[in-house]
Structure 1
């Protein structure tokens, strides 16, 4: 059966080629694309390339889109491929009704209508009536080649001219209404939607005209008008110049999202061939997904004023629940009072390239968008800000990525909100302590607690195994200790230390026991409760807050599901460790002094 073209286009958008092909082919990155050994013929060196919406083998010539890959790989027909991909994408296949077939025919007809309108507008631009519009475009610095490339045109200064011109090509008024080129007035009269405007064709990802935008000449309002929603055009789904940007990104350009038509055109003319723009609305979820189909890390470009900051904050909030390890964003901020068009005209391509290279990853930009210009000092405000940062990270569905975002945000928070009264310059300057050395010392203290208090191992054996200890002696002692536990008749410190001293971990265990400045609770005379508290505190420092918070979350889920003593104990201990670590975060650093 014939399926609507918009359904097939949507299904292609929702089917990432690299993920689809990667189930059968081991792929590796090749620039912005992927490559691997062709699954359709035997080869020893990879000649099979996967792009954002297609594949091609330079060895055997196999090529096509997602449907073609499934058909070729699984031996089924087109409808079988559609059914499988639609099921994975969560789309319902349209039923073959006469109405659906009629809509598909009308859609094909509408593309023809819009193509004819585009040609009419372009012709009119170069007639005497379009002289003012052509002068406007040239005064904006556009070349004739750019004007042609983007299909720019002139609507005419009066009503009814387009309908009269296209009537000669057999296009009826009803088709112009359905294509969004005319609108009905209350009195039942149909008039042109666009008049006295420079015309910008809006094309889909395949380069077919689906609507128009028009900019008025003079001081009238609104300055820009986009066509209405139609069977072909949705403002939420389309992006201006996406068809050209796909080619630009394929050739190495950055995918750039800017605000307006002229910004996009100026960037393309200056060599930034990956520029696109939303269509008079804030960025939408559908547009973000379309962007990620082209590039894993599009760059969002915002003006350096309050409105630009608000737009960036909205975009970040929209993007966070959609992020994944293979798709993110960068944020580019222009100097105050500049847009891409004016910046290029003032500073040239080099000036814009410098601003582009300064674009921040989302994780960095997000902190500034949430915190604003100044960090709070009051404890209540600091706690509220910290909660906001954590909550933002938690909206990311991928747990590992959420953990990394939370770590990054809180690292910046703690560096920005040190306690008043702490000085970064010590009375007796000394080199900043090396992080690796600090982690090694913490590992020695934690292992000393285990050696002097092995009776605690019943509670801490699994967390100890979980720790990513420094390589070498710490891991050697931990492994020997855990291997001893199942064989021990009793958990006695002297017996454990003697056992380690007689084995391969002898020198490593001596390294642990000779740790300088051993805390009292880590020594043989420490009380079990104090030793356990100290273990969890050092465990937290070694594990890291983000990972520990994730451990506690997983333990809570396990306890809620199982409800037994073991899962309850683990939850309690991990919560205590997290609390101990967070208490430790407000202590003065080794190089700081309190006045």
Structure 2
């Protein structure tokens, strides 16, 4: 073979399976797939399906499955090379030049693969010989009966430095080839190579075609230096590409396609060999990484088989670290229809424990109880540190926004920002007795949050209005945004700041997080602040008018009210004023609003803590600072000197 993996993947990426297969089989679209009559058997009802997203066909009547290359081999009796050449011409790709060195390397890999297959059969036989008694007892204790050993090709390596080596050399193998295959170790001092796996239960590791490329070994000696040992990187085996159990998992997935949606089980990623085996015995398609965090290549391989594989890692610290690394690596790659879900072990039990103690139904039920990727991300950032200070709460907000910003797909990134913001708001939602006060400070006691709860946004409607000391539900005939703006009189100082920010988004860009968190110092302006924040997240350019956007959102009337009550003598609203000075003055005014809001929030937190002399002094200092800022605002001290 002269076609390397890169060439074949590029070839398959250029051609849609439905186009290739459609030249032979009449296909009809059914959801995400195409259906037609089997080209391999005679049938009256379609049982042949093609999936462009996953790049394969599957025939339930004959059990045949494959890609566009194998389809041509099956239907037109072409050789592999002939099928590739036919498809390359169709895709407009030039065939790679014949490389003698590459041909020799391919021949060597093929030869190594033959020795790996022979080694696998030898390990299997050793498990059933007298020397494998301890290993057999261990497998029985773990709930894996002898009837299942052959399915997963489980074996045993005796505690002998040259047992496998002697067997393979007697069959014609060269020690150097066995070192290259990873089954022998060549000492650094130049001594004779010896067996890598000794006194271990052996788990063969296969590639996506079912070919053995390496081994994993579980030590029988409890004092062994490494409990689990994987083979090294070789010409056959690359840890970052291969997933243990993938070949068997694909077969289960394909068999499950005929099941109803409620009967289908998720594609699961677990941590160990025995967990993979337990899941697959319960008819759950499962795989595991090779002792490392999931790589981008492994994620791509998973998404080719399932749009939302489930990650099920152990509940210990190592499992949590693995989950966190998977979150960080997956974030930039997420797209609509391409994500992960998370399943947390119940009671610290891994899938192998659950199957052995509770049975297959319980295991499938546990693995079906999942949480979305966005929830796992939010909970990770939420639990990173105590959220007992304004700084830490702001830190959480920044981490959530930064995480969402790493998603390459812009639409999905914005959807994550919106979702994470709502979860953040709900986390700090709290009810306060009594109506909101008009005029008692510029932070509203909650930094632009009505009654200390969620921002008054189009999503939550604000929860009604206050009349005669009682809350009344929102008027169903009036949109929540307009209602929020009409009730009460807007503070002129806040209106001036809001109007300048709307007309000059470039000024507000440096304060985007505060605009969403604090608003403009008046709870009635929160819808405008929220919409401005969304516009800044959408990367609107500096000085882009937002009035058309606000009008489409039903905010024309509130904006008109802001223009009416805004203090017209604010220098930053005067078009004749120096632009640089206007921007600096607006920033100073808005920073005062932020400081008031944060100080009032800090005061609110102190009221719920134990009273000490230090806390009383801090409370007085905060109150004094708030009073100074409010006096400066009321007396227009911020811009008297500027006029």
TM normalised by structure 2 equals: 0.64
- Tell me how far 1:26 sits from its aligned partner: 9.7
Instruction: Report if aligned partners of 2:502, 2:532 keep a CA contact under 8 Å in 1.
Output: no
Where 2:49 maps in the other structure, the secondary structure is strand
- Tell me how far 1:348 sits from its aligned partner: 3.0
- Tell me how far 1:10 sits from its aligned partner: 4.8
- Tell me how far 1:359 sits from its aligned partner: 1.2
Aligned partners of 2:140, 2:275: CA distance in 1, in Å?
A: 15
Aligned partners of 1:400, 1:19: CA distance in 2, in Å?
A: 28
Equivalent position of 1:144 in the other structure: 146
Aligned partners of 2:278, 2:62: CA distance in 1, in Å?
A: 41
Instruction: Report if aligned partners of 1:124, 1:156 keep a CA contact under 8 Å in 2.
Output: yes
Equivalent position of 1:308 in the other structure: 319
Aligned partners of 1:546, 1:532: CA distance in 2, in Å?
A: 10
Question: Are residue 214 (structure 1) and residue 217 (structure 2) matched?
Answer: yes
Question: Are residue 281 (structure 1) and residue 283 (structure 2) matched?
Answer: no
Question: Are residue 236 (structure 1) and residue 246 (structure 2) matched?
Answer: no
Q: In the TM superposition, what whole-angstrom CA distance separates every residue of 1:401-444 from its partner, at most 9, and x where no partner exists?
A: 1111111111010111247875679996657648x766x24358
Equivalent position of 2:227 in the other structure: 223
- Tell me how far 1:369 sits from its aligned partner: 0.7
Equivalent position of 1:35 in the other structure: 34
Instruction: Report if aligned partners of 2:354, 2:363 keep a CA contact under 8 Å in 1.
Output: yes
Equivalent position of 2:102 in the other structure: 100
Aligned residues: 485
Instruction: Report if aligned partners of 2:36, 2:48 keep a CA contact under 8 Å in 1.
Output: yes
Question: Are residue 267 (structure 1) and residue 285 (structure 2) matched?
Answer: no
* CA 1:12–1:148: 2 relative to 1, 3 Å: farther
Aligned partners of 1:389, 1:23: CA distance in 2, in Å?
A: 46
Aligned partners of 1:137, 1:144: CA distance in 2, in Å?
A: 8
Aligned partners of 1:543, 1:23: CA distance in 2, in Å?
A: 50
- Tell me how far 1:335 sits from its aligned partner: 3.3
1:452-463 → structure 2 map (5 Å cutoff): none
Where 2:243 maps in the other structure, the secondary structure is coil
Instruction: Report if aligned partners of 1:320, 1:396 keep a CA contact under 8 Å in 2.
Output: yes
Equivalent position of 1:184 in the other structure: 186
- Tell me how far 1:169 sits from its aligned partner: 2.8
Unaligned runs of 5+ in 1: 447-515, 560-567, 588-593
Instruction: Report if aligned partners of 1:255, 1:299 keep a CA contact under 8 Å in 2.
Output: yes
Aligned match for 2:481, one of 442, 450, 454: 442
Unaligned runs of 5+ in 2: 76-81, 257-263, 431-444, 454-462, 506-523, 563-589, 598-603, 608-643
Instruction: Report if aligned partners of 1:330, 1:360 keep a CA contact under 8 Å in 2.
Output: yes
Aligned match for 1:290, one of 286, 298, 301: 301
Aligned partners of 2:128, 2:205: CA distance in 1, in Å?
A: 20
Q: In the TM superposition, what whole-angstrom CA distance separates every residue of 1:547-571 from its partner, at most 9, and x where no partner exists?
A: 53444x0x32xx7xxxxxxxx4337
Instruction: Report if aligned partners of 1:155, 1:195 keep a CA contact under 8 Å in 2.
Output: yes
- RMSD (Å) for aligned C-alpha atoms: 4.7
Aligned partners of 2:134, 2:15: CA distance in 1, in Å?
A: 45
Q: In the TM superposition, what whole-angstrom CA distance separates every residue of 1:353-397 from its partner, at most 9, and x where no partner exists?
A: 343232110011110011117662422222222111111111111
* CA 1:441–1:140: 2 relative to 1, 3 Å: closer
* CA 1:372–1:433: 2 relative to 1, 3 Å: farther
- Tell me how far 1:318 sits from its aligned partner: 0.6
Moved more, 371-380 or 240-249: 371-380
Aligned partners of 1:385, 1:363: CA distance in 2, in Å?
A: 15
Where 1:55 maps in the other structure, the secondary structure is strand
Aligned partners of 2:61, 2:344: CA distance in 1, in Å?
A: 44
Aligned partners of 1:63, 1:268: CA distance in 2, in Å?
A: 19
Question: Are residue 323 (structure 1) and residue 334 (structure 2) matched?
Answer: yes
Instruction: Report if aligned partners of 1:375, 1:417 keep a CA contact under 8 Å in 2.
Output: no
Instruction: Report if aligned partners of 1:16, 1:53 keep a CA contact under 8 Å in 2.
Output: no
Equivalent position of 2:250 in the other structure: 246
